[in-house]
Structure 1
């Protein structure tokens, strides 16, 4: 059963994702993407129920601000779910929150060019390299954010209360 607390946290995180995309849309779309909002994917390390909401946040952002149509919207939804799903699996495997940066960097960099390349006419590997560079910042920010959060007693208590 989905609790009110989970729904509230999910809605707040999706809203924050969309606001961050809006504020940073100049650097969040195109061949070079520094999507600061994807650093929020790391929150799935602390809150595994955020897998689908993060996909929804990406889908809505691509709809509102992306302008590349249904492929970008559905692709972004899939990338959000895949990235956060891997982060949740890493936590279950006992890996440190620092490992969350790896899927935040690699999954968008390898997957987004699959549809972005034909849509904008840039070669796949050129986009991969651009996205690897661009996603490094959100990867480090996300891992740092979650590492700081999971070390706080109030956050640990909240994580325990929402299992």
Structure 2
């Protein structure tokens, strides 16, 4: 490993057997929120709890496409769209990636076909969707933003078609 015992770019070394526990390598990369209190969205329009709950729409859905659109990334779910306006990061297994660095474009393509089984929102830090041992996260902090918004979730109507009126904004 370059620089002795320290991992490159601040990523931890893989631990033998870490792949056995699908979330073994997450604690360093995604510290858990301990407080259960409700936080309000930046604009005071919806609570963080309500925005977080909108991600439930993605649970059980398969990622059908990863799209790279000029300066942002989208995950498509045959209807809903999760849009990362800040540079996403995450884990594929215990392999860390950060867009647009290194092989992140290749790694993000591996998400196609995965089914979302969970999500997490830590207000003002990140939102993440999970698929087994894989995690796709979108930074929500002010330093990561180039504008007022960090992420969008485009919901679907009763026919399963994208509906911009059902837009969640972080």
Relative contact order, higher structure (CA 8 A, sep 6+): 1
Q: Which has the higher helix share?
A: 1
Mark the structure with the bigger radius of gyration: 2
Q: Which has the higher strand share?
A: 2
For normalisation by structure 2, the TM-score amounts to 0.25
For normalisation by structure 1, the TM-score amounts to 0.26
